[in-house]
Chains A and B, each alone.
Chain A
Amino acid sequence: MTEKLSELIDGELRGDLATQLSQIVADGALRQTWSRYHRIGAVLREEHSPLSADFAARFEARLKDEPVILCPQRDGNAAIVVVKASPDESVGVRLWQNLALAASLAAIALLSWHQFGNPAVKRGGPDYVAQLQQSSQKVQQRARPADDLDIYLFEHGQYASVSDLNGLMAYTKFVSYGNGD
């Protein structure tokens, strides 16, 4: 097998490349031989690398922590590249998800407090009624509607039920026209 390995390193292998490579990939001793044969070439070419002799072994140990690539992208074909998330990445993703959730809850709580929880104006109390009258007067001062229907809606608007939402919806009325109106 080492003779085949020698040929393979030189790109001169006769026969099935895939089978030979499978054997080398799977066999620890052959991987070591592959490594040493390449080292011999590097020494002869005077490629003086300062990397330690066990660099590849240490790198392979580190590689085990990396995500595994499951699908290839080949020859321009549409292909999905998927990496299996490593434990570290999963923790990172979960952390961001939790942070996003916490931020959303905080935003909802803040809005709710402004909407419903303001203790300065109790709903139905004297302050609340005074505030409604005040805002109604402001609206009346701003504009007088032109046609009869608008006048009707305007005059009766203050008696309409007030939504819990104190925003725009409180001033939105739904009307329908009958025949001839």
Chain B
Amino acid sequence: MPRSAPAYFTMAIHAGRIGQSSTFLCFHINCQEIAYPNNTAVVTNAESVDEELIQRVQNGDQNAFGLLVRKYEHKVGFVIARYISDTHEVEDVAQETFIKAYRAIHRFRGDSAFYTWLYRIAVNTSKNYLVSQKRRPPDSDLEASEIESTGIGRVMHDIDTPEAGALSREIAQTVTDTLHRLPEELQQALELRELQGMSYEDIAEQMRCPLGTVRSRIFRAREAIDKELRPLLA
């Protein structure tokens, strides 16, 4: 598992079982050595955020798993909806997917990205669900990266159930309307980040502005949209 920090040490000390209870003494000490060359702070990356959260879950922090769910619920729901059209069934399968992931997270070793691992669980859970319902799963799968790059899921599923669809449409409308009302530089910075997946450095180069300005623009754009979104999701 690659780390952004130059060195990473892990020491685990485990004591045995006490009596008949399931109590274990467990100490897990992580020593992360962070270097700041030329007085520049180390910048983390998207993978290291997931790694840190996974490590916390593996150390017993359920709230950390909640953050992973909040991060990936849209992607997971989007993938499951390729297989299952009923909204309530998608919810059930999504819950099952995340529960399976949580129960198996101690086996996640970081050989692949967390989302790739989660995606396979979502696909398998969807297929198993269809089989259990005596329905036929599709013959072929798309890989997680293919779905993201082709956007094929967009045309394969329609979420027009009255209640879910209404709120989803309102949220989508609010986000796009607010984005289009923003100053162009804020709008462009956020789009380059979210749609193109560009790094701040690349955005700074493209927009010909300092890195700090990119940070600020993306944050201000998010904050403005979030302000409009909050009442809808309260």
B223 to chain A: which residues have CB within 8 Å? Answer: 2, 6
* Given A12-B44, A40-B222, A47-B109 contact (CB < 8 Å): no
Measured in the bound complex, the distance between the Cα atoms of B61 and A7 in whole Å is 23
Check B1 against A63 for contact (C-beta < 8 Å): no
Interface residues of A, count at CB 8 A: 69
Could you tell me the distance in whole angstroms from the C-beta of A181 to the nearest C-beta in chain B? 56
Nearest residue, chain B, Cβ from A16? B34
B109 to chain A: which residues have CB within 8 Å? Answer: 73, 76
Interface: A146 (CB within 8 A): no
A18 to chain B: which residues have CB within 8 Å? Answer: 32, 52
Measured in the bound complex, the distance between the Cα atoms of B151 and A32 in whole Å is 27
Measured in the bound complex, the distance between the Cα atoms of B168 and A50 in whole Å is 8
Check B215 against A11 for contact (C-beta < 8 Å): no
Check B49 against A71 for contact (C-beta < 8 Å): no
Nearest residue, chain A, Cβ from B14? A80
- Of A21-29, A108-116, A131-139, A160-168, the stretch lying at the interface with chain B is A21-29
Q: 1/0 per residue A32-71: CB within 8 Å of B?
A: 1111111111111111111111011011101110101111
* Residues of A that sit less than 8 Å from B by CB: 2-3, 6-18, 21, 24-26, 31-53, 55-56, 58-60, 62-64, 66, 68-85
Besides A56-B73, A68-B60, A69-B58, 11 more A-B contacts (Cβ < 8 Å) are A2-B219, A10-B200, A12-B215, A18-B52, A38-B71, A48-B81, A49-B159, A59-B98, A60-B69, A72-B28, A73-B107
